[in-house]
Amino acid sequence: MRVANKAIYDAVKYNLGSISEELNKANEIATTGKRINNLSDDPVGLTQSLNIRSTLESIEQMGRNISYGNSWLTASESALTRVEDILSDTKALCVQMASGTTGADQRSSAAGTVQNMLDEIVSLGNTDVTGNYIFAGSKTDTIPFDQDGTYNGDNNAFAIKISKNSTVEVGSDGEEVFGNIFNTLSDLKTALETNDLSGIQDAMGYLDGHFEDISAKISDIGSKMNRMEIKDKIYQDLNFSNTERLSKIEDADIAEAIMNLSAAELTYQAALASSSKVMTLLTLVDYLK
Amino acid sequence: MSSIGMILNIATTALNAQQYGMGVTAQNIANVNTEGYSRQNPVLVAKQPLMYGGLLLGRGVDTEKVSRSSDQFIENKLMQEKSNMSSSSEMEKYMQVLEGFFNENSGTSISTMVSDFWNRWYDISNNPSGASERISLYEQSVLLSEQFNALGTDLIQIDTDLTGAVTSGIETINKITHEIAQVNGQIVSMEANNVANDLRDKRNTLVSELNEYLDVQAFEQSDGSLTIVAARGCTLVHGNSDYDLEMGGTNGDRVRWQNSSGSYVDITNYLTNGKLGGWLDMRDEIIAKNRLDLDALAKEIIWSVNQQHSQGVGLEGFSSVTGSYAVSDSGEELGTIDSGLDFYDKVSDGTFNLWVYDSNGAVVGGSATSITIDADPGGTTLTSLRNDIDAAANISTSITTDGKLKIDADSGYTFAFSDDTSNVLAAVGINAFFNGASAGGIEINDTIRLNKDFIAAAQVGSGGTMASGDNNNALAITDLQSTSMSISQWNCDRINGNIQGSIISTIEDYYHSMVGAIGIVSASVSRDRSFGEMMVNELSTIRDSISAVSLDEEMTNLIEFQHAYAAAAKLIGVADEMLNTLLELK
C-alpha cells in the first residue's frame, strides 16, 4: 500500500494518543490504589460497593445502638443487684427482729435502718444514664419515684433497635420492676415501730417474693446483655467480611497495578522511540543534491 | 521530412509539459500536510501527429488535464464515521461531567448522606429527649437537602449548556452550508472548461466538517454542484442556495428548518449523529432521565419521611402550625389533581386524631377529636377540612392567602396529632419534616427549622399521653431505611418521549442503581468513541493511501520531470547547432 507522509504522522498521533490514555489509566490505578476511580470503570462493582458501604454504615450505627443499650442494661443490672442485696439484708434484719428475744426498743431502733433501706431503694429506682431515668418507662425525663415510692413514670419500657427489624427493651417500667417493695418496707417500718410481730412476719413473706421478682428481672437483663453481646459479635464479623469484600471490589492489587504501569510505560517508551525514528526518517529529499 | 523548426516546436511543448508537471509536483509538495487535499497528477498525451512527407510525424506533448486521486466512496464512508465519532466523543465529554456530579468516592456523596440521615434518626431513637441528637439530625437533613439541591441545579445547568452548544453548532452549520453553496457556484462556472480539483477538495472538506455536526446526505448533480439533505429530507444546500437551521419552539431549544412555504419543520428528534446528535441524545435522553429519576427519588424520600413524621409528636404540642404544601383551589377535593397539592395522589379515605391540651397538659374534653377525610369526588376539600378542624374546642383554623392550612390554639392551649390513616396531614404539610417535592425543592420544614423540639420522635399515646422518652415514631422512621417502596423510574427516548415506570426498591438501592446506570452508559459511550476513533483512523489511512501526498513519490516525479526538461532543453541546443551549421555554410 502507498504510504503518504501524512499517514505516518497521523498514525504516530493516534498510536501515541491511545497508548498515553492507557498509561494514564494505569497510573491512576497505581497512584490511587483503587480499581474504580470513575463510575464507568466498573459500574456493576461500583453498585455493589455502594451497597456494601451502606451496609457498613448501618453496622456501625447498630454498634453504637448496642453500646448505648448496654450502658442502660449495665446500669439496671447494678442498680437491681444492689436492691437485691438490700432486700436480703432486710430479710436478715426481719429474721433477727422476729426472734422472741428481741425487745421493743431494738425493734423500734431497727425501724430507722429500714427507713434508710427504703430511701436507698428509692434512690436506686431513680438511677439515670446521662440524665435519662432508666426505670421511668418512656418518661425518661421525669424522676420516676417520689420519696414515698409513688411512681411518676409510664408503663412503656424504653426500647432501642439492635438490628433493622428487632428492638430490645433496655429501660424498664419501674412500677412493674419495683412492684410493692416500697409498701412492704414502709409496712415493715410501721410494724417495727409498733412492735407488731405478725406485721414483721408478713413482711418476711413479701420480701421473699420481691427478692425472687428482682432476681428474675436481673437474669432477664443478663440474657438481654448476652443477646446484645452475640449481636455485637455478629456485627463485628459482618463488618470485617464486608470491609474485606469492599476492598476486593474497590482496591487495586498493588503488585498488579505497578506491573501494569511498568508495562504501559515500556509500551509508551517503545512507541516514542519508534515514532521519533519514523518521523526523522530520511526521505528521498535528503539524498538529492 | 521534418524541419528543424518542427524539432524546436516539439522541444518547446516538452519544456512546457515538464515545467507544468513540476508545477503540479510543487503544488503536491506544498500540500503535503493539508487536510483533505487529494494529490494531483498531470495527464500527458502525445499531440495529434501530422502527415509529413507521406509519413505521420508527432508534434510533441500536451498536458491534457490534471487528475485528482480520490475515491468518493471512501471519502463518504470516512465522513460518516467522523459523524459517528463526533457524536460519541461529545457525549463522552458530558458523561465525564455527569460522572463527576455523582462521584461516590467522597464523603459528600448522596449515598453516604442518606445513610447518615437514617443513622441520625437511630441516634434520636436512642436518646429521644437529647437536644444534641436533634440538632445533629437537623444538620444532617440540611446537608442532604443541599446536596440534592446542588445536584438538581447541576443537571439543569448541563441541560442549559447543551442547548447552548446546539445553538452555536447550528450557527457553524449555517456558515458551512453557506460556504458550500458558494463553492458549488464556483465549481459549476469553472467546470465549464476544466475540472476544479482544488475546489472539489475544499468542498469535500466542508462537507466533512458539516458531517461532524450532523448527518447529511450529499448528491452530486450533473452540473457538478452538490445537493445536501439533512434529516427528514430538509435540504440545506441546493445549487448555490443554502437554507438555514434555527433554534425555536416554546423554550427556544428545538432545532427547526424552514421550508420553502415558510413553515417550520422540527427536526430535533431526528438528528442522531454528529455533535448535534450527541448533544441532543445527552440532553433529551440521558440528562432528562437522570433529572426525572433524581426528582422521583427526592420526592419519595420527602413523602415517606413526611408521612411517618406526621404520625408523631415532638417534645411539646403545637400552639400554632402552618402547612407547607399549598392548594391552588381550596374548593377542590384534596385527593384530586385539581386541588394543586403536590401529593394529592397520596390522600385517601381515613381519619386522624386531633388532641387539644390545656395549660396543665390535660386533654380538653378528655378525648381526641376524630376528623374524617373522604378522598372521593365530592369529598374533603381544604375548606371543609378547615371547617372540621375549626369545630374542635379552643382551636381556630384558617387558610392563608397562598393556600396553606393554618391551625392555631387559644392562648395557653396546645395541640398534637395521631393515627392519621388518610395521609392528609403529610399532604398539606402539617407536622411534616421536609418541604418540596423535587431534588431542587427539598428543604427542611420551617416549623422544625425554627424549633427542633418539633422533630416527632414520639407518638401520642392512648388517652393523649406524651412522653419525652418515647421513641416509637423515630423507630418507625428508621424502618423506612429498609422498606422497599414503589419509586418512579423514567425511560427517556427522543422518538417515543418520556415514559414513566416504577420499580420496587429501597431508597438507597434506587440511588445506587441510578449511579450504576450512569457508569454503564458512560462506559458504553466511551467504547463507542474509542471504536469510532479506530474506524476513522483506519479509513483515514485508506483515504491517505489513495489521496495524500508522499514526498518520496513527489521527489521521484520531480526528478522525472527535471530530466525530461533537461533532455528537451538539450534538444533545443541540438536544433540550435543544426541551424548554426546551416547558417555557417557560405
Question: What does the pLDDT look like over B345-400, one tens digit per residue?
Answer: 999 999 999 999 999 989 998 899 999 999 887 889 999 999 999 999 999 999 99
How many beta carbons lie within 10 A of that of residue B465, not counting itself?
17
Whether residues B512 and A139 touch (CB distance < 8 A) is answered with: no
Q: Verify that A215 and A260 share a domain, yes or no.
A: no
| Contacts B468 to A, Cβ<8 Å | 138-142
Kindly state whether residue A179 falls inside one of the protein's structural domains: yes
Cα B187 to Cα B198: distance, rounded to the nearest angstrom: 10
pLDDT of B249 over the 90 cut: no
| Contacts A228 to B, Cβ<8 Å | none
pLDDT of A216 over the 60 cut: yes
Report residue B39 CA to chain centroid gap.
Answer: 40
**Angle formed by the axes of helices B72-101 and B507-547, to 10°?**
150
Which chain B residue is nearest to residue A55, measuring alpha carbons? B115
CB pairs under 8 A between A and B: 185
Q: Verify that A275 and A170 share a domain, yes or no.
A: no
pLDDT mean over B80-84: 91
Mean pLDDT, all residues of chain A: 90
pLDDT mean over B529-536: 92
Cα A135 to Cα A143: distance, rounded to the nearest angstrom: 9
Whether ipTM > 0.90 holds is no
Q: Verify that A212 and A139 share a domain, yes or no.
A: yes
Region of poorest pLDDT, from B104-108, B212-216, B267-271 = B104-108
Q: Verify that A211 and A189 share a domain, yes or no.
A: yes
3-state secondary structure of B443: strand
Nearest-by-Cβ selection for A140 from B96, B468, B551: B468
| Contacts B547 to A, Cβ<8 Å | 4
pLDDT of B321 over the 50 cut: yes
Contact B434, B424 (CB under 8 A): no
Query: Predicted confidence band at B1 (pLDDT cuts at 50, 70, 90)?
Result: very low
Strand partners, B485: B505
Query: Predicted confidence band at A223 (pLDDT cuts at 50, 70, 90)?
Result: very high
Task: Please report, to the nearest 10 degrees, the dihedral formed by the alpha carbons of residues B111, B115, B118, B123 taken in order.
Answer: -150
**Angle formed by the axes of helices A181-193 and A104-125, to 10°?**
160
pLDDT of A228 over the 70 cut: yes
Nearest-by-Cβ selection for A4 from B96, B530, B548: B548
Q: Verify that A257 and A234 share a domain, yes or no.
A: no
Residue A136 near chain B (CB below 8 Å) = yes
Whether residues B467 and A139 touch (CB distance < 8 A) is answered with: yes
Query: Predicted confidence band at B107 (pLDDT cuts at 50, 70, 90)?
Result: low
- Residues 6+ away with beta carbon under 8 Å from A135: A76, A79, A125, A126, A127, A144, A145, A153, A171, A172, A173, A174, A177, A178
Cα B232 to Cα B227: distance, rounded to the nearest angstrom: 15
What are the C-alpha distances in Å from A258 to residues A27, A117, B151? Answer: 8, 73, 36
Q: State percent of chain B over pLDDT 70.
A: 99
Q: Verify that A266 and A175 share a domain, yes or no.
A: no
Q: Please write the tens of the pLDDT for every residue from B569-578.
A: 999 999 999 9
Question: How many residues make up chain A in this entry?
Answer: 289
Cα A279 to Cα A126: distance, rounded to the nearest angstrom: 90
Phi, psi of B402 (to 5 degrees): -95, 20
Min Cα separation A216/chain B (Å): 25
Cα B459 to Cα B417: distance, rounded to the nearest angstrom: 9
pLDDT mean over A225-253: 92
Q: What is the domain range of residue A201?
A: 61-247
Min Cα separation A48/chain B (Å): 8
Residue A31 near chain B (CB below 8 Å) = no
Nearest CA-CA partner of B209 in B2, B36, B437, B404: B36
Mean pLDDT, all residues of chain B: 91
Q: Please write the tens of the pLDDT for every residue from A155-203.
A: 989 999 998 888 999 999 999 999 889 999 999 999 999 988 888 888 8
pLDDT of B460 over the 60 cut: yes
Residue A14 near chain B (CB below 8 Å) = yes
pLDDT of A126 over the 90 cut: yes
Q: Please write the tens of the pLDDT for every residue from A26-45.
A: 999 999 898 888 888 888 88
pLDDT for A197 = 86
Kindly state whether residue A288 falls inside one of the protein's structural domains: no
Task: Indicate the residue type of A193.
Answer: E
Query: Predicted confidence band at B427 (pLDDT cuts at 50, 70, 90)?
Result: very high
Cα B171 to Cα B117: distance, rounded to the nearest angstrom: 48
Using CB atoms and an 8 Å cut-off, which of residues 34-73 of chain A contact chain B? 34, 36-44, 46-47, 50-51, 53-54, 57-58, 60-61, 64-65, 68-69
Residue A130 near chain B (CB below 8 Å) = yes
3-state DSSP: chain A helix, strand, coil percent, rounded to 5? 75, 5, 20
Whether residues B516 and A46 touch (CB distance < 8 A) is answered with: yes
pLDDT for B476 = 95
Q: Please write the tens of the pLDDT for every residue from B195-205.
A: 788 899 999 99
In order, the DSSP letters of A234-269 are: HHHHHHHHHHHHHHHHHB--HHHHHHHHHHHHHHHH
Nearest-by-Cβ selection for A65 from B99, B126, B549: B126
Nearest-by-Cβ selection for A132 from B469, B482, B556: B469
Q: Please write the tens of the pLDDT for every residue from B88-104.
A: 999 999 999 998 888 77
Whether residues B545 and A3 touch (CB distance < 8 A) is answered with: yes
Q: Which residue has the cell 475540472?
A: B195
pLDDT for B105 = 63
Kindly state whether residue A56 falls inside one of the protein's structural domains: no
Whether residues A53 and B550 touch (CB distance < 8 A) is answered with: no
**Strand B226-230 versus strand B320-322 pairing type:** unpaired
pLDDT of A152 over the 50 cut: yes
pLDDT mean over B332-344: 92
| Contacts B297 to A, Cβ<8 Å | none
Which chain B residue is nearest to residue A141, measuring alpha carbons? B468
Q: Verify that A27 and A106 share a domain, yes or no.
A: no
Whether residues A283 and B552 touch (CB distance < 8 A) is answered with: yes
Nearest-by-Cβ selection for B516 from A44, A130, A137: A44
Task: Please report, to the nearest 10 degrees, the dihedral formed by the alpha carbons of residues B555, B561, B564, B569 taken in order.
Answer: -110
| Contacts B313 to A, Cβ<8 Å | none
3-state secondary structure of B564: helix
| Contacts B463 to A, Cβ<8 Å | none
| Contacts A143 to B, Cβ<8 Å | none
Nearest-by-Cβ selection for A288 from B99, B122, B555: B555
Min Cα separation A107/chain B (Å): 43
Cα B497 to Cα B501: distance, rounded to the nearest angstrom: 13
Whether residues A34 and B469 touch (CB distance < 8 A) is answered with: no
Q: Verify that A178 and A279 share a domain, yes or no.
A: no
pLDDT mean over A262-285: 86
Kindly state whether residue A42 falls inside one of the protein's structural domains: no
Q: Verify that A81 and A212 share a domain, yes or no.
A: yes
| A169 HSE (CA, 13 A, CB side) | 15
Q: Which of A39, A53, A283 to mutate to test the interface with B (most CBs of B within 10 A)?
A: A39
Contact B539, B81 (CB under 8 A): yes
State which H helix or E strand residue B485 sits in: strand B485-493
Domain of residue A219, CATH code: 1.20.1330.10
**Strand B245-248 versus strand B241-242 pairing type:** unpaired
Nearest CA-CA partner of B87 in B576, B566, B533, B582: B533
Whether residues B519 and A161 touch (CB distance < 8 A) is answered with: no
pLDDT for A1 = 74
- Residues 6+ away with beta carbon under 8 Å from B401: none
| Contacts A37 to B, Cβ<8 Å | 105
pLDDT for B196 = 84
Q: Verify that A123 and A208 share a domain, yes or no.
A: yes
Kindly state whether residue A54 falls inside one of the protein's structural domains: no
pTM for this predicted structure:
0.86
3-state secondary structure of B49: coil
pLDDT for B226 = 94
Residue A274 near chain B (CB below 8 Å) = no
Q: Verify that A104 and A218 share a domain, yes or no.
A: yes
| Contacts A43 to B, Cβ<8 Å | 516-520, 522-523
Contact A258, A30 (CB under 8 A): yes
pLDDT for B106 = 60
| Contacts A50 to B, Cβ<8 Å | 104, 111, 508, 511-512, 515-516
Which chain A residue is nearest to residue B520, measuring alpha carbons? A43
pLDDT for A287 = 77
Nearest-by-Cβ selection for A39 from B99, B125, B470: B99
Whether residues B553 and A68 touch (CB distance < 8 A) is answered with: no
pLDDT mean over B114-129: 93
Q: Verify that A263 and A238 share a domain, yes or no.
A: no
pLDDT for B100 = 86
